[in-house]
Chains A and B, each alone.
Chain A
Amino acid sequence: MLAFALRRTTHAQDAADVVAEVFLVAWRRLDDVPSGEGGRLWLYGVARHALANQERSERRRVRLAERLRRELPAAVQSVPPPAPETGTIRAALGRLGSEDREILRLAGWEELTPGEIATVLGISQVAARSRLHRARRRLRAALQGAPGPGESNPVCLQEAL
Chain B
Amino acid sequence: MTHIDIDAMLAAANPLTDRTAAMLPLHGAETDLVEQIVATPVGPRSPLAPARVLHRRRLALLLAVTAAVAAVLAVLPSGHHDGGPAPAFAAPLVRFANASPLVLLQLPGWHVVYADEAADGYGEMHFVRGAADANGNPRGSSFSSRASLAGRVASFSWMPANLRGNVTGGHQSLATGLGVTVHRLIYEGGSPRAFDVSALLSYRGRVLEFRATVTDMAMFRAELRALHQVDTTTWLRAMPPSVVKTADSGETIRQMLKGIPLPRGFDAARIRGARLLHDRYQLGAAVTGTVACMWIADWNRARAVGDTQIVERAIAAMATAPRWPILREMAQQGAWPQVLISYAKAMHTGRVQLDRGAPGQPLTAAANSGLGCGYSWGISLGSAPKP
Please list the residues of chain A having a beta carbon within 8 angstroms of any beta carbon in chain B: 1-3, 6-7, 19-20, 23-24, 26-28, 30-31, 33, 35, 37, 39-40, 43, 64-68, 70-72, 74-76, 78-86, 88-90, 93, 104-105, 107-109, 111-113, 115-116, 118, 123-130, 133-134, 136-145, 155, 157, 160-161
Task: Say yes or no: A33 contacts B57, CB within 8 Å.
Answer: yes
Is B13 an interface position by the 8 A CB rule? yes
Task: Say yes or no: A28 contacts B24, CB within 8 Å.
Answer: no
**Bound CA–CA A40/B63 (angstroms):** 13
Task: Say yes or no: B188 contacts A134, CB within 8 Å.
Answer: yes
**Bound CA–CA A84/B164 (angstroms):** 40
Known: A72-B29, A125-B165. A89 touches B9 (CB 8 A): yes
A3, A26, A72, most chain B CB atoms within 10 A: A3
Task: Say yes or no: B354 contacts A83, CB within 8 Å.
Answer: yes
Known: A1-B68, A33-B61. A111 touches B354 (CB 8 A): no
22 interchain pairs, CB-CB under 8 A: A1-B64, A3-B20, A19-B33, A20-B37, A27-B42, A30-B58, A64-B40, A65-B36, A72-B24, A79-B16, A80-B360, A80-B361, A83-B360, A104-B10, A108-B11, A109-B11, A111-B73, A125-B163, A126-B200, A142-B144, A143-B6, A155-B356
Is B218 an interface position by the 8 A CB rule? no
Task: Say yes or no: A37 contacts B359, CB within 8 Å.
Answer: no
**Bound CA–CA A85/B370 (angstroms):** 12
> Of A3, A24, A142, which is within 8 A of B17 by CB?
A3
Task: Say yes or no: B342 contacts A85, CB within 8 Å.
Answer: yes
Task: Say yes or no: B3 contacts A124, CB within 8 Å.
Answer: no
Other 5 A-B pairs with CB < 8 A, given A68-B29, A130-B186: A28-B40, A111-B72, A112-B74, A125-B164, A143-B6
Q: How far is the CB of A83 from chain B (nearest CB, A)?
A: 5
User: Across the two chains, which residue of chain B brings its CB closest to A70?
Assistant: B29
> Of B61, B342, B356, which is within 8 A of A81 by CB?
B356
Task: Say yes or no: A7 contacts B15, CB within 8 Å.
Answer: yes
Task: Say yes or no: B20 contacts A68, CB within 8 Å.
Answer: no
User: Across the two chains, which residue of chain A brings its CB closest to B9?
Assistant: A89
Q: Enumerate B1-28 residues with CB–CB distance to A below 8 Å.
A: 1, 3, 6-7, 9-18, 20-22, 24-28
Task: Say yes or no: A130 contacts B68, CB within 8 Å.
Answer: no
Is B88 an interface position by the 8 A CB rule? no
Known: A3-B18, A71-B26. A83 touches B12 (CB 8 A): yes
Q: Enumerate B325-366 residues with CB–CB distance to A below 8 Å.
A: 342, 352-356, 358-361, 366
**Bound CA–CA A118/B20 (angstroms):** 26
Known: A3-B16, A107-B10. A113 touches B37 (CB 8 A): no
A interface majority secondary structure: helix
> Of B24, B122, B207, which is within 8 A of A75 by CB?
B24
Please list the residues of chain B having a beta carbon within 8 angstroms of any beta carbon in chain A: 1, 3, 6-7, 9-18, 20-22, 24-30, 32-34, 36-38, 40-43, 45-46, 48-49, 54, 57-58, 61, 64-65, 68-74, 122, 124, 142-144, 155, 157, 159, 163-167, 186, 188, 196, 198, 200, 207, 209, 211, 342, 352-356, 358-361, 366, 375
A109, A112, A134, A142, most chain B CB atoms within 10 A: A109
> Of A68, A111, A140, which is within 8 A of B26 by CB?
A68
Known: A33-B61, A67-B29, A83-B12. A2 touches B68 (CB 8 A): yes
Contacting residues, chain B, for A129 (C-beta < 8 A): 122, 157, 159, 209
Q: How far is the CB of A111 from chain B (nearest CB, A)?
A: 6
Task: Say yes or no: A124 contacts B166, CB within 8 Å.
Answer: yes
Contacting residues, chain A, for B27 (C-beta < 8 A): 71
